[in-house]
Amino acid sequence: MSLNPAQNASVRSEINVTPLVDVCLVLLIIFMVVTPILQAGVRVDLPKTVKAPPMPGDQGQLSVSIREDGVYLKEARIPEAELRELLAGLHAAEPDREVVVRGDRALDYERVCEVLTLITDAGFTRVGLVTERREAMEP
């Protein structure tokens, strides 16, 4: 038996995966919690289309959401009487700003057109409707 401990000890070149798995699980939980928070605006049940183009990044876009309980700018509910004036003020501040409209699929077409008319009357020219992509076989 040798007295030199360096001869008996061997180098282990194994990776300890337990900390790696722990970190991955924590990151997964963080992403699962944060992802719904990152969605811009109010939760709206969007209409589905087969050929929905990808949505451009949210770089200064004005998000208008239309639900049965009212119209929202980003997360704030705006009373109907103040909507026209607010949109005109926003257009005066940034005339080239893009507007994305998220209309609930359960709404009447007439209601969505009323809000689109208010947006165009305020002077915005770059207005788009947001839809969700659906599979071709989905009804």
Task: Give all domains of the chain, ordered by start, each with its CATH number.
Answer: 5-38 (no CATH), 48-133 (3.30.420.270)
The secondary structure of 48-108 as a DSSP string is EETTPPPPPP-SSPEEEEEETTEEEETTEEE-HHHHHHHHHHHHHH-TT--EEEEE-TTS-
Is the pTM higher than 0.85? no
Q: Write down the pLDDT at residue 15.
A: 81
In order along its 139 residues, the chain shows pLDDT tens digits of 555 555 556 777 788 888 889 999 999 999 888 876 665 556 766 667 777 666 666 667 888 888 888 888 888 888 888 888 998 998 899 888 888 888 888 888 888 888 889 988 889 888 888 877 776 655 5
